[in-house]
Chains A and B, each alone.
Chain A
């Protein structure tokens, strides 16, 4: 299943790379242009990904691979979304508050008891603020 997904994603990426690189001049044999390598790489990724796709389809029909259902999807996706939201909200609100909320929610989502998460995230966010903001003088918001 993983190989199938990966090969399909790589094929899509190689086509995108090919389209984008076609806007760049290719150059001539004794002076390859900026588009030469991108096109070469797009072509290689396409060929190899198609090969992987065929192999994965062949294996998939012979033997069903274990799916990804055994993983903790909800916790993982929640964490990814929380980090994304934190990055998106960078520069808005208060650094210490945003950081504390991010760390608290991730700890709760990943299985910590709320009071443990509260202490852990408060300690961490203040430590990070002091280390980077006060010692290294990093400009937050």
Chain B
């Protein structure tokens, strides 16, 4: 109880609330702009929070994350271009409603059901997070190794069009995680005599480079425009707030979609974009009027907007309780947690429970924040779409560079950002998924150290990974995950 009260007051500290609102506003703008993802927003803003206390920094990042996912739906509804990938499914019915002259109601549904999804996601974090972390406290090196392998296998399974390229990307990320001191013997590996590399590659600059600068380079290359649909500007919104009757009739679909979103969010690697698409598709099967899906169905829009925000709670549960990133944003958040001196994982729930409560309360407040302003700013946000593309690109580039430098005042980190940015561009060009690289970068050290520890403890007996029950279950799940996704992709695109 004392931990909860402590965590609660950390979250509702006035300065934290101000940073939460600042983050919410930044997220609303960034999320509305197509091409700027929530991952990019969190990655770029992470260095800015370095100067803040952990609760204030987290407040800002959580505000950005939640509101960016929500506001991605605004451009999806008004201009048929998803602001973030999480809102792809919202274009199906959202823009159709706009064409019918019901843009206001569509925006209102986006606000209400994003909020409902977000709150249900947090509820899942509360209900599942603590027991899961308690269970994970019994894990030994063998379980942690197989857990890392399971995380990698699921990420590969859901990433991109090519499983093969996803696996190679994972191993490339793994190889980068090897730089620095060996976790068992402490001998130098791939440091080339550079002092800066002794502690390994700094994670935050790599993320900023891959998701910030790399994305900008690719957008410049691909001539990607903010608004490319030729959609007519919306002049009349009509009614914005959905009636009680409408909200009530959409609730069953929303509950199903929230459940789907939470489960998909909890699976490492499967993000809000997949959650929105799967929920839209599944809800169609139980909807009262499935024939309206894609033609401007309120149910379809409610399903996608609920699922993509519910996904955040699921992703946070896995990330906080097990240390496995649920998606790219939580991968960046792991870097931020470490920057604040907190290592996500079961031990955090035991030794730093007040911090967990702070995160939970901040998640609730972030949802309340965008609910409070969402109705009023939804249309206003589209004004940002008229900002010159070059200006947006240079803003991202300079914030990425200076932000990465500023964390350690290290010119070497600048070089890391540039190299990661160039690599990120090349990977996008070659259609190589970035998710496995990031996940392997995080899980690599966990996998290596625990595998070697497990082998030392078992005196070189590899059977230790198959004879311990939890470890065996995780191995089986990893194999199932890889096999099912391989077969599924073979069926859809010839097994690339």
Interface residues of A (CB under 8 A from B): 2-3, 5-6, 10, 13, 17, 20, 24-25, 28-34, 36-38, 41-42, 44-45, 48-49, 51-52, 55, 68, 71-73, 75-76, 79-80, 83-84, 86-87, 90-91, 99, 102-103, 106-107, 110-112, 116-117, 120-121, 124-125, 128, 132, 136, 138-139
A-B contact pairs, 24 of them (CB 8 A): A6-B432, A13-B175, A24-B189, A30-B456, A33-B185, A34-B184, A34-B187, A37-B448, A38-B175, A41-B175, A44-B171, A45-B172, A48-B164, A51-B164, A52-B164, A72-B220, A75-B220, A80-B425, A83-B418, A106-B397, A107-B388, A107-B390, A124-B394, A138-B409
- Contacting residues, chain A, for B185 (C-beta < 8 A): 33-34
Q: Which of B293-301, B335-343, B355-363, B398-406 forms contacts with chain A?
A: B398-406
Cβ distance B384 to chain A, nearest Cβ, rounded Å: 15
Q: Give the interface size class of chain B.
A: 35 or more
Interface contact A79-B220, CB-CB below 8 Å: yes
A10 to B165, CA, bound (A): 10
* A31-B456 contact given A45-B175, A52-B168, CB 8 Å threshold: yes
- Contacting residues, chain A, for B135 (C-beta < 8 A): none
* A72-B389 contact given A44-B171, A83-B418, CB 8 Å threshold: no
Which of A17, A32, A45, A90 is B455 in contact with, Cβ under 8 Å?
A32
Which of A6, A29, A83 is B460 in contact with, Cβ under 8 Å?
A29
Give per-residue flags for B185-214: 1 if the beta carbon is below 8 A from chain A beta carbons, else 0.
101011000000000000000000000010
Cβ distance B154 to chain A, nearest Cβ, rounded Å: 18
Which 3 A/B pairs are nearest by Cβ-Cβ distance? A30-B460, A29-B460, A34-B182
* A107-B394 contact given A13-B172, A34-B189, A48-B167, CB 8 Å threshold: yes
A3 to B222, CA, bound (A): 18
Interface contact B460-A28, CB-CB below 8 Å: yes
- Contacting residues, chain B, for A121 (C-beta < 8 A): 394
**Interchain Cβ contacts within 8 Å, total number:** 164
A80 to B425, CA, bound (A): 10
Interface contact A110-B165, CB-CB below 8 Å: no
Closest to B185 in A: A34
Interface contact B178-A37, CB-CB below 8 Å: yes
Which of B190, B406, B418 is A87 in contact with, Cβ under 8 Å?
B418
A73 to B221, CA, bound (A): 6
- Contacting residues, chain A, for B168 (C-beta < 8 A): 6, 10, 45, 48-49, 52
A112 to B184, CA, bound (A): 53
Interface contact B398-A112, CB-CB below 8 Å: no
A49 to B414, CA, bound (A): 30
Q: Is B223 an interface residue (CB 8 A)?
A: yes
Q: Is B431 an interface residue (CB 8 A)?
A: yes
Give per-residue flags for B151-192: 1 if the beta carbon is below 8 A from chain A beta carbons, else 0.
000000000001011011001101100100010110101100
- Contacting residues, chain B, for A44 (C-beta < 8 A): 171
Cβ distance B411 to chain A, nearest Cβ, rounded Å: 5
Closest to A119 in B: B391
Most-contacted residue by chain B among A84, A128, A132 (CB, 10 A): A132
- CB within 8 Å of A: which of B426-463? 429-432, 448, 451-452, 455-456, 458-461
* A41-B171 contact given A2-B430, A107-B391, CB 8 Å threshold: yes
Cβ distance A75 to chain B, nearest Cβ, rounded Å: 5
Interface contact A83-B213, CB-CB below 8 Å: yes
Cβ distance A125 to chain B, nearest Cβ, rounded Å: 7
Interface contact B217-A80, CB-CB below 8 Å: yes
Q: Is B136 an interface residue (CB 8 A)?
A: no
Cβ distance B23 to chain A, nearest Cβ, rounded Å: 15
Which of B171, B174, B398 is A125 in contact with, Cβ under 8 Å?
B398
- Contacting residues, chain B, for A25 (C-beta < 8 A): 187
Which of A5, A71, A99, A103 is B223 in contact with, Cβ under 8 Å?
A71
Interface contact B220-A110, CB-CB below 8 Å: yes
A52 to B166, CA, bound (A): 11
A29 to B462, CA, bound (A): 9
Closest to B431 in A: A2
Closest to B187 in A: A34
Q: Is B415 an interface residue (CB 8 A)?
A: yes
Q: Is B376 an interface residue (CB 8 A)?
A: no
- Contacting residues, chain A, for B394 (C-beta < 8 A): 103, 106-107, 120-121, 124
- Contacting residues, chain A, for B432 (C-beta < 8 A): 6
Known: A44-B171, A90-B411. 5 other contacts (CB 8 A): A30-B461, A71-B429, A87-B418, A106-B394, A120-B394
Most-contacted residue by chain A among B171, B182, B461 (CB, 10 A): B171
Interface contact B187-A111, CB-CB below 8 Å: no
Which of A3, A111, A112, A125 is B165 in contact with, Cβ under 8 Å?
A3
- Contacting residues, chain B, for A5 (C-beta < 8 A): 430
Interface contact B220-A48, CB-CB below 8 Å: no
Interface contact B178-A99, CB-CB below 8 Å: no
Q: Is B118 an interface residue (CB 8 A)?
A: no
Closest to A76 in B: B221
Interface contact B165-A6, CB-CB below 8 Å: yes
Which of B48, B422, B496 is A80 in contact with, Cβ under 8 Å?
B422
Interface contact B171-A45, CB-CB below 8 Å: yes
Closest to B395 in A: A124
* A41-B164 contact given A29-B455, A72-B220, CB 8 Å threshold: no
Cβ distance A90 to chain B, nearest Cβ, rounded Å: 5
A49 to B422, CA, bound (A): 21
- Contacting residues, chain A, for B389 (C-beta < 8 A): 110-111
Cβ distance A16 to chain B, nearest Cβ, rounded Å: 10
* A38-B421 contact given A6-B165, A52-B168, A76-B220, CB 8 Å threshold: no
Q: Is B4 an interface residue (CB 8 A)?
A: no
- Contacting residues, chain A, for B405 (C-beta < 8 A): 90, 138
- Contacting residues, chain B, for A33 (C-beta < 8 A): 185
Which of A10, A38, A55 is B178 in contact with, Cβ under 8 Å?
A38
Closest to B213 in A: A83
